[in-house]
Amino acid sequence: MLSQPPLSLSRRTFLAASAAAGAVTGLSAGPARAAGTRPRPFGRYGSPAARLTPRTLYVHPGGAGDFTSVRDAVAAANGPGHTLVIAPGVYRQTVAVDPGRTEMTWIGASENPRDVVIVYDNAAGTPKPGGGTYGTTGSATTTVRADGFTAHRITFANDFLRADHPDITGTQAVAIKVQGDRSAFHHCRFLGHQDTLYADSNSASLFARQFFSHCYVEGDVDFVFGRATAVFEHCHFRTLNRTDASGAPYGFVFAPSTERANPHGYLVTRGHVSSEAPDGYYKLARPWVPTSSTTVRPMLTVRNTRLGPGIDTLAPYATMRDAHPWQDQRFAEYRNTGPGAVVTVPENRPQLTDEQAESATRAAWLGDWRPREAC
């Protein structure tokens, strides 16, 4: 039903020691092969000698592909319609897909998204070589601005740790910022702490549609945030424990920033919210209304989803700024289950009616776009 459970693996142990990177991320040399057989680092997706299509490029950290880095492969993929097949490995780099590289597909060559990892450790407050700091957007390990982007079985991570950088106060550290319309992620993992997954758009006037299927996301503060029209279907959200926080709340799962003119914000359906923190130490959401904006009215619908005990049932929503209380936003739930879904204070848990729920669907959110199935 859901993406693979995290077991004991978390962002806190992810790449804890570079020498142990393979073990931490589940990387290995692969299953034993019979003598005389040749390795197939790209699995069933061809090779540089047998390309799936002329626009297929192969990435391998050891040199068995066209490129050893994802960044270089993206730079070489001029124009629309390229496919990157990425072999197992930890790719420590930042990557950006600009608006001209439309209809691009990234495929993790392994059947396990833990095996293909794109990771870096910039935070908003990290000093830039030329002066200043990166800011939230600049902290992203991966940035996707092109329309029609699709990813399969890849881990996108930001392994910045607050404890390692006590001098940095801007601790937002984005694993991926997605801005393009028709962006789809299948069986992917998104690892970070604060601001892990930035589901956004290229401008306030553009309503970018995004689809996340059978994905896993973990973090602590506002770790799914932005103004996209995004559907999260069969996704697992995991709230992390914190040793640097003195008490509840430790953080917030969602922080949508939907434009008032956009009828569709975040839709979470048939998912799961779990926690490694104490019971009740997390809020389900809070609205993000940027100080510079007068046109934002955040929207979040969570339906048919299991909410674990980490969610505060007395007050599952919080206000980020007093001028924009959560009660004035578009927050709603429908037929959620689990200990975190218990309605103890009805006015704190707005519910959809059956009639309203009929229009809170993937089809309504995505319109005429039908995402391709996972490959």
Catalytic residues: 195, 222
Question: Are 157 and 192 in contact, with CB atoms under 8 Å apart?
Answer: yes
Q: d(Cα 45, Cα 194) in Å, to the nearest integer? A: 35
Residue that the structure tokens 């930035």 belong to: 198
Kind and range of the H or E run holding 22: helix 21-24
Reference 125, options 151, 86, 93, 164; nearest CA is: 164
* Contacts for 346 with CB less than 8 Å, ≥ 6 apart: none
Q: d(Cα 125, Cα 233) in Å, to the nearest integer? A: 33
Q: Which residues face 312 on adjacent strands?
A: none
CA distances from 373 to 117, 152, 182 (A): 22, 10, 13
Reference 184, options 156, 152, 228, 155; nearest CA is: 152
Q: d(Cα 318, Cα 304) in Å, to the nearest integer? A: 22
Q: d(Cα 181, Cα 80) in Å, to the nearest integer? A: 14
In the Cβ-directed half-sphere of 49, how many Cα atoms lie within 13 Å?
3
Kind and range of the H or E run holding 357: helix 354-357
- Token pair in block for residue 60: 């391998």
User: How many residues are there in the chain?
Assistant: 375
Q: d(Cα 197, Cα 140) in Å, to the nearest integer? A: 9
Q: d(Cα 174, Cα 192) in Å, to the nearest integer? A: 7
